[in-house]
Amino acid sequence: MAETDAAEMAQAAKKYWSAEGYTEGGVIREVDYATQSGGLDPSLAGIKIVDTDTHITEAPDLFTSRAPARYKDKVPYVKLDNDGVERWYVGDRNFGSMGGNVIRKDNNKLLGRLAFPKLEQAHPGGHLMKERLQAMDDMGVYAQVCYQNSGVTQAGSLMSLGDPELAETIIRIYNDASMEFQQVSNQRIFNMGHLPFWSQEALNREARRCIDNGIKGFVLPDTPERVGVPSFLSDYWTPFLEMCSDTGTPINFHLNSGVDPNTITWEGFGFEQTLAVVATMFSIGNAATLGNWMVSGRLDRHPNLKIGLIESGMGWVPFAVEALEHQFREMMPSSKASLSRRPKEYFRDHFWCTFWFESAGPKLLLEEIGVDKVMFETDFPHPTSLYPGVQAHIVDVLGGYSYEVKKKVLQDNAVALYNLPF
């Protein structure tokens, strides 16, 4: 990997979300928690709601407490910077923020920022298991599929260290902690695994270890070539994709797309203006991920591959699939022999999507997308999270459907995608 590439990756980690989002400020939304913490709505009795996109903040000692002796002083640690913001460091290199948690420890919500400057200001359910499970009970959520909350375990960042063994150790520590979360939570918390995909041998070795130890899925970038790894068209990925297809282990694309929304906002916008547009476009940008896989031929090679499009919403899906149907017909006449199915069939056979704040999507488009292909999420405790009012929103947007359909969307579809043990 070129030295300039490594520098760019390190800088990207340092800028994991905008630094301005972690400064003091914003507006506190007062939450009447007593009315928002009653658990599962009676109309949903018997349904184990699976929240398919949430974030667990990596504990400050996650790596230092678990590292082998020779790596104790090399793994990531948290430091309070002079600006009053806690950040991850590896050695003296700034690896960026601790991620997003805008739920204050008194259950009120911070608007206009990405997180509180210090972990102690935020809801402890962001990183502590007992408090997390209580917050889930209060929201009426039985299980959560979780993703990282910082950039410290991102492969591009770790590649910039120039020490593959250390980088792989950090990945293994994160995955080991995720395996423990499942056990300690009594199979209610399911972190998606991370992979050292800069090495084909390390990628396949860690993927096999994770699958054998109960990890329910992996999170990947849509364009690994951006960090110097072959694209998914390359046979570099074939053994891994075969492993996932054969075992029913899903791969997930969490706001990963071939579009960087930061490049398409108007110059001169302030932080909050930019954030509103970027957050929206990141979700819609997963249409590129959908299209990439459909045109690639990979889905014909791996007929049982399962793909989650996460924290992306559902309202754009019918348009994207319909547009791809049109483009297949008009733009890809030479591909008819190499692609065995149409976009609607590829979506039906391989993809799942999620919704949280939307009303129009779940009310009007659920049957068009497919009642077996839509899941629910809250994005807790991120800035866009469906908080408060989780149960009220579910009852509103799914109220026109039968109990059986509600159970599919809220429970069964996630169980099928992630092979959950209930």
Domain boundaries, the chain: 47-60+124-418
- Does the structure show a pLDDT above 70 at 15? no
Topology at the third CATH level for domain 47-60+124-418: TIM Barrel (3.20.20)
pTM of the model: 0.94
Q: What is the mean pLDDT of residues 357-374?
A: 98
- Does the structure show a pLDDT above 50 at 6? no
Q: What is the pLDDT of residue 13?
A: 47
Which of 44-58, 141-155, 182-196 shows the lowest mean pLDDT across its residues?
A: 141-155
- SS3 of residue 56 by DSSP: coil
Residues 287, 154: Cα–Cα separation, whole Å: 22
- HSE toward the beta carbon, residue 352, CA cutoff 13 A: 28
- Does the structure show a pLDDT above 60 at 11? no
Q: Which residue has the higher pLDDT, 280 or 52?
A: 52
Q: What is the mean pLDDT of residues 85-103?
A: 93
Dig out the tokens for 22 from the structure. Answer: 């972690």
Q: What is the pLDDT of residue 281?
A: 86
The position carrying tokens 């199979």 is 187
- SS3 of residue 162 by DSSP: coil
Percent above pLDDT 90 for the chain: 83
Q: E strands within 155-240? A: 189-191, 218-219
Strands 109-111 and 27-29: antiparallel
pLDDT band for position 284 (cuts 50, 70, 90): confident
- Mean pLDDT of the residues in the chain: 93
- Does the structure show a pLDDT above 60 at 296? yes
Strands 218-219 and 251-254: parallel
Q: What is the mean pLDDT of residues 190-203?
A: 97
pLDDT band for position 283 (cuts 50, 70, 90): confident
Q: What is the pLDDT of residue 374?
A: 98
- Does the structure show a pLDDT above 80 at 351? yes
- Does the structure show a pLDDT above 90 at 169? yes
- Does the structure show a pLDDT above 60 at 187? yes
308 - beta bridge partners? 252, 352
Q: What is the mean pLDDT of residues 71-76?
A: 96
- Does the structure show a pLDDT above 60 at 149? yes
Which amino acid, 420?
L
- Does the structure show a pLDDT above 90 at 348? yes
Taking 3-state DSSP, the helix, strand and coil percentages for the chain, each rounded to the nearest 5, stand at 45, 15, 40
- Does the structure show a pLDDT above 50 at 390? yes
Long-range contacts of 1-6 (CB under 8 A, 24+ apart): 1/159, 1/198, 1/228, 2/228, 5/160, 5/227, 5/228, 6/159, 6/160, 6/162
- Cβ contact 199:236 at 8 Å: no
Angle 254-258-262 (CA atoms, 0-180°, nearest 5)?
A: 85
